[in-house]
A = this chain, B = another copy of it.
Amino acid sequence: MHHVEHTVTVAAPVDVVWDVLLDVRGHERILGSVHAAEVLASSGTHQLVRLTVEVNTGVVHTWVTRRDIDADARVIAFRQVEDLAPLVRHMGGEWRAFPLGADRTQLVLTQDYAAREPVDGLVAGRFTPEATEQMLHGVTERNGTGDLAGVRAEAERRVSGAG
């Protein structure tokens, strides 16, 4: 299991950032990697979402993610629960939003992941374990920076009143 953390400072109040994080339907618009986000079920404390994501240039996968919402802590814990991506045995993490004064937010994305076990030396019938690890590392690095940048841009757009 690997664990990585990425962060960015957002020039918007924590409540604005939190609203962007909660609005998972809108992620298909603001996150470049998310082609579609369909909410299958939701409550005040969870969302079940079918996501269609471009995990690599031209490579699109669909899976179901569960998001558990802790509004007091402003933390959303997510993990793939159905139709996992072909290379992963586990993919989860947390979105965390911390107030940094009244008008800025420290936005954090953590990601935990593990590759599938190889069968006859290959993962998903195509990739060596080393190539699989390298691809998952690349995906989480790109998500870590790209998704943070997408949420940041949307939150700052809402504050500026533009668009």
Does A52 touch B at the CB level, under 8 Å? no
Does A8 touch B at the CB level, under 8 Å? yes
Most buried by B among A7, A9, A96, A106: A7
Q: Is the CB of A73 within 8 A of B96?
A: no
Partner of A98 from B5, B8, B98, B110 at Cβ < 8 Å: B98
Minimum CB distance partner of A6 in chain B: B7
Q: Is the CB of B5 within 8 A of A5?
A: no
CA distance A11 to B9 in the complex (A): 22
Q: Which chain B positions have C-beta within 8 A of A101? A: 73
Q: How many copies does the complex hold?
A: 2
CA distance A98 to B100 in the complex (A): 9
Does A84 touch B at the CB level, under 8 Å? no
Interface size bracket, A side: 10 to 19
Given contacts A73-B101, A101-B73, A108-B106, contact A7 B5 (CB under 8 A): yes
Given contacts A7-B6, A7-B7, A8-B5, contact A106 B96 (CB under 8 A): yes
Q: Is the CB of B106 within 8 A of A100?
A: no
CA distance A101 to B96 in the complex (A): 12
What are the 8 closest A-B residue pairs judged by CB atoms, nearest first? A7-B7, A98-B98, A5-B7, A7-B108, A106-B108, A5-B8, A98-B106, A96-B106
- Other A-B pairs beyond A6-B7, A106-B106, A106-B108, 5, CB < 8 Å: A5-B7, A5-B8, A73-B100, A73-B101, A98-B98
